[in-house]
Structure 1
Amino acid sequence: MDVRQLRYFLAVVDHGSVHGAARELFVAQPSVSQALRGLERDLGTELFHRTGRRLVLTSAGESLVGPARDVLRGLRLARSTVAAVGGLRGGRLLLSSMPSQAVRPLTGMISRFATEYPLVEIVVRAAATPAEVLEAVRVGTAELGVLGAAERPAVAGIAAWPLGTQRFVLVAGREDDLPAVDPVPPESLAGCRLIVGQPGTGMRRAADAVLAAAEGARVAVEVEHREAVLPLVLAGVGVAVLSESWRGLAADAGAVVRDLASDEVLHVCLVHRNGALSPAAARFLATAGVGEPG
């Protein structure tokens, strides 16, 4: 058994097929298949049930996933620790973030870190919900995560550092699209067409509260891609309920922004697995100035 075999094995687990793993790894499909067969031969057991092109983990395969991730995580930590002996002069830091928190506070955090450690490559991977961020950190596809949730996450094995709270705003294309009050009570949005996020997000939870309070209000568009929200608003499709982190970008784009009168807030946290962090991740926390984990 070797590291390459474990890396290929986890790529198949994460992408669901040899084809997806090969695309992610930038190798030929036969290389992945050969590595899997070699790993199964070394372990003396099948790791996948093969049904056509589908690969489903056997019980033995499921038992290998956690240890395999630990091996690769430990290898990355060893390499980055040795490389940092002379200072952070390279390497990569993998983060996972929800869209609204990527706008703020993550942008500012990255700016401070990049100013101090300009040779470290930062990779930010998108996650739609808090659960996706936590899963990325748990399985090791990201070392750090930034999320906004109704409550601070309390997950075994995960440290959560509070970064503050975010409220919600209404974003419209014209002044006439919103009541002339600020903050805007949800019940005053009767008949409003809303642009909402997918279920499981704070944006959707706040929008659902508006739909419940405002007579005749309805969903015009449900959108997973946050980058599409402002163009939809400016095109007159509807009014969006967004985290206040979007306030500046929306105003700069020419949209009308007003506070939503709501008790709903997002608790913004930076999360990581308990235990040793890579030097880059540890220094990212330091430059972020986070307090004690919640």
Structure 2
Amino acid sequence: MAIVDTGSVHAAASRLLVAQPSVSQTLRRLERELGTELFQRTGRRLVLTPAGRALIQPARDLIRALEVARSAVESAEGVMSGRLTISSMPSQAVHPLPALIGRFRRAHPAVSVGISTARTPAEVCQAVEDGSADVGLLAVSNGPLRDATVRIQPLYVQGYVIVARDPSGLPPGQGPVRVDELTDLDLVVGQPGTGMRRVADSIPSSTGCHVVAQVEHREALLPLVLAGLGVAIVADSWRAMALAAGLTVREVTTDETLHVSLVVPLSFVGPAAQRFCTMAANAGIDNQ
């Protein structure tokens, strides 16, 4: 697997902290046992042959099964340890992931947690499917995720809020606002295709609102609002962080919703991942 992930015997040996001839000999021995070549050289990289591609998923499943078996033995002895790797989309890494990890670590301090960020639901699912993550956390717009390669565990549904440094430009009151009530606002928006952007784009042009900045990374939205560039529409998961920064936050009335879910492998879910998912499901009502 190290050769697949790194693309060369030399890089695989470096990752595994072994001599390069050892990796080469292991590969040749496996190819002799299977009676076929698993890699072909393309330039300076090794590329999987059709036989190699057919072997990759069973090999990943076997590695995952061994890790699950090891964790199950440790759990049966009363101590849950090891490492839990989570792949999360950026907004969910802001909320609810920190709270979920904090709750899990307080219950299981011997388990270390690794977090990787994925830009799309497909990347999260791929990380879980190929074994580079034990659990995935993601959100999709206007309906739960459907993906046959992983198991989906819905957590909750959330809406959107508008955040502003100066509340005077927003409609009077403290309650939700409709998009047609927003007038003459400078908008800081994210990339097209996101739920946040669709809500911003649904503001009628007759209101006089207009886009003054478009950012590639949504993490830049709140700092730009704090700098006074304009207002932004963000997922409700950003509410606590925006309030902590001193921004005004109002709910936006819209048909757009975000469905937040966990994803786990179809098989070989380890004790730590199982426990994390159970705790997340029980905490779901607190994250809405």
Name the TM-score class by shorter chain: 0.7 to 0.9
The aligned counterpart of 2:235 is: 243
Matched, 1:96 2:87: yes
> Which secondary structure does the structure 2 equivalent of 1:110 belong to?
helix
For 1:31 and 1:236, the matched residues in 2 are separated by 59
For 1:64 and 1:133, the matched residues in 2 are separated by 22
For 1:59 and 1:212, the matched residues in 2 are separated by 54
Which residue, out of 169, 180, 196, partners 1:187?
180
> Which secondary structure does the structure 1 equivalent of 2:102 belong to?
helix
The aligned counterpart of 1:3 is: none
Closer/same/farther in 2, CA of residues 9 and 281 from structure 1, 3 Å limit: same
The aligned counterpart of 2:256 is: 264
Counterpart amino acid of residue 57 in structure 1: L
The aligned counterpart of 2:5 is: 11
Matched, 1:121 2:112: yes
CA shift, 1:149, in A, is 1.0
User: Deviation digits for residues 90-145 of structure 1, max 9, x if unmatched?
Assistant: 21111111222233332332222212111111112212222222221121111111
- Contact 1:8–1:36, Cα closer than 8 Å, also in 2: no
Report which stretch shifted further, 262-271 or 173-182. Answer: 173-182
After superposition, the CA RMSD in angstroms is 3.2
Closer/same/farther in 2, CA of residues 165 and 48 from structure 1, 3 Å limit: same
Counterpart amino acid of residue 67 in structure 1: P
CA shift, 1:240, in A, is 2.0
For 2:275 and 2:231, the matched residues in 1 are separated by 40
- The TM-score with structure 1 as length reference comes to 0.80
Counterpart amino acid of residue 80 in structure 1: S
For structure 2, the residue ranges without an aligned partner over 5 or more in a row are 284-288
For 2:222 and 2:135, the matched residues in 1 are separated by 28
For structure 1, the residue ranges without an aligned partner over 5 or more in a row are 1-6
For 2:163 and 2:250, the matched residues in 1 are separated by 7
Report which stretch shifted further, 157-166 or 38-47. Answer: 38-47
- Contact 2:3–2:9, Cα closer than 8 Å, also in 1: no
User: Deviation digits for residues 199-219 of structure 1, max 9, x if unmatched?
Assistant: 554333333434778666236
Closer/same/farther in 2, CA of residues 73 and 276 from structure 1, 3 Å limit: closer
* 1:1-294 superposed matches below 5 A: 7-12=1-6, 17-18=7-8, 22=12, 25=15, 27=17, 30=20, 34=24, 38=28, 39-40=30-31, 43-150=34-141, 151-180=143-172, 182-189=175-182, 192-210=185-203, 217-218=210-211, 220-224=213-217, 226=219, 228-290=220-282
- Contact 1:166–1:244, Cα closer than 8 Å, also in 2: yes
CA shift, 1:55, in A, is 4.6
For 2:168 and 2:10, the matched residues in 1 are separated by 48
